[in-house]
Amino acid sequence: MWQAEHVRERLTILYPQCDVKIVGMTTRGDQILDRTLSKVGGKGLFVKELEVAMAEGRADLAVHCLKDMPMELPEGFLMAAVLEREDARDAFVSNDYASLDALPAGAIVGTSSLRRQALIAARYPQLVIKPLRGNLDTRLGKLDRGEYAAIILAAAGLKRLGLAARIRSLLDADVSLPAPGQGTLALEVPLRDDGLDLVSILAPLHHTPSALVSIAERKVSQVFGGSCQVPLASYATITGDQMHLRAMVATPDGQRMISAEARGPAESAEALGLQVAELLRAQDAVGILSACLSEAAQADDDARSAELAADAAKPPGNA
C-alpha cells in the first residue's frame, strides 16, 4: 500500500484539482504465503488482478514493483512510467549477527528468491538456506521468533516502510547481484479510447535513467524466458552517458554459476541487454536454465504425488 500512497501523493502535488483515490486490492501473490513464487505461478501473481480491475474500469492505473512485473505485458496495457530507483541492493537482516560473514556454520538464512539462494550458497556453502514467504511484517516476525538466524530482503522495501533500522548490512552487488528492476516502481495503464491520455499525465513521474537501466536488465531476463523459477540476476548503472550492465545465471545450489558484463551508451540499453544475454548464452546459460526448469517441474510432480499418496492413505471419513 505504501507504493500506491506514494504515487497518489506525488500526483496530488502535480494535479491538486484531481481527486486521486486508491483502490485497495490483495493479489494472489499476497495471499499465497506457504510456498515460494517459483512454485505457484511466478511474477504474474502480483499483477493479474490489478489488470482485471483496470480492464473493467475500476482503476485507471496500477503501481507495481518492477521486479515483480512479467517481461511481456498483455495486449491492451502498457508501462506508462518508471519512477526513480530506490536502493537496488539486498539487505542482511538479523537480530544477532552483523553480516553474512559473521554467521556460524549451519545458521539458517531465509530468502524468497532463487537468485539470492544461489548467490549465497555459492559464496557461503556452510550456511543453510530455507524459503521465506509472506509480507514484510510476516517475514520479520519469523526472524524475531528465532526461525531464522538471518533473512535477506530488498533494501528498498525496508527503507520505504521506515524500517531501515532493521538492516544490519547492505550486500554489495559483487556479493548479491540484484534482480532485474529491483528497487524500482512502475506504473501500468490500460490503453483507452475515451481520450484520457494517462501517459502524458504520468510523464512528470517518469525517470529516464531508471527506465534505461530497467530496459537493459529486463532484456537479459526476457531473452531467457523471464521466469522466477530460475536464478538470474542483472544490474545496470549509468555514469555520464555510459551504462555498465552485469548479469548472472546459476543453478539454485550455486554449484554452477556464469556471469557476463558489458559497457555501452546508455541510450542503447536494449542492445546492451541483448549483448550481455548473448555472452551468457555462449557460456551455456540455456543449458543451465533448462536444467533448473526441469528440476523445478520434477519437484512439483513429486510434491503432487506425495499429496495424492497422503490423501489416499487417510481413513474413510477423514478426507
**Concatenated DSSP letters for 271-319?**
HHHHHHHHHHHTTTHHHHHHHHHHHHHHHHHHHHHHHHHHHHHSPTT--
pLDDT(40) > 50: no
pLDDT at 319: 46
Domain ranges of the chain: 1-83+184-206, 90-171, 208-303
**Tell me, what's the pLDDT at 32?**
47
Interstrand relation of 90-93 and 167-171 (parallel, antiparallel or unpaired): antiparallel
Residue 38: pLDDT band (50, 70, 90) is very low
pLDDT, one tens digit per residue, over 8-22 is: 999 999 999 999 999
Fold of the domain built from segment(s) 90-171: D-Maltodextrin-Binding Protein; domain 2 (3.40.190)
| pTM, full prediction | 0.86
For position 47, what pLDDT does the model report? 85
Instruction: Report pLDDT for 312.
Output: 56
Rounded to a whole number of angstroms, the distance between the first and last alpha carbons of the chain is: 38
Q: Please write the tens of the pLDDT for every residue from 165-178.
A: 999 999 999 999 99
User: Structurally, what CATH architecture does the domain formed by 1-83+184-206 represent?
Assistant: 3-Layer(aba) Sandwich (3.40)
Query: Could you check whether 1-83+184-206 and 90-171 share the same CATH topology?
Result: yes
Does residue 183 register a pLDDT over 60? Answer: yes
Catalytic residues: 68
- Specify the pLDDT at position 193: 80
What digits encode the pLDDT tens for the residues 233-264? 999 999 999 999 999 999 999 999 999 999 99
CATH superfamily of 208-303: Porphobilinogen deaminase, C-terminal domain (3.30.160.40)
Q: Per DSSP, what are the bridge partners of residue 263?
A: 244
Provide the 3-class DSSP secondary structure of residue 39.
Answer: helix
What pLDDT, on the 0 to 100 scale, is given for residue 314?
63
- Residue-wise pLDDT for 73-82, tens only, equals 999 999 999 9
- Other beta carbons within 10 angstroms of residue 178's beta carbon come to 25
Interval 282-293 mean pLDDT: 91
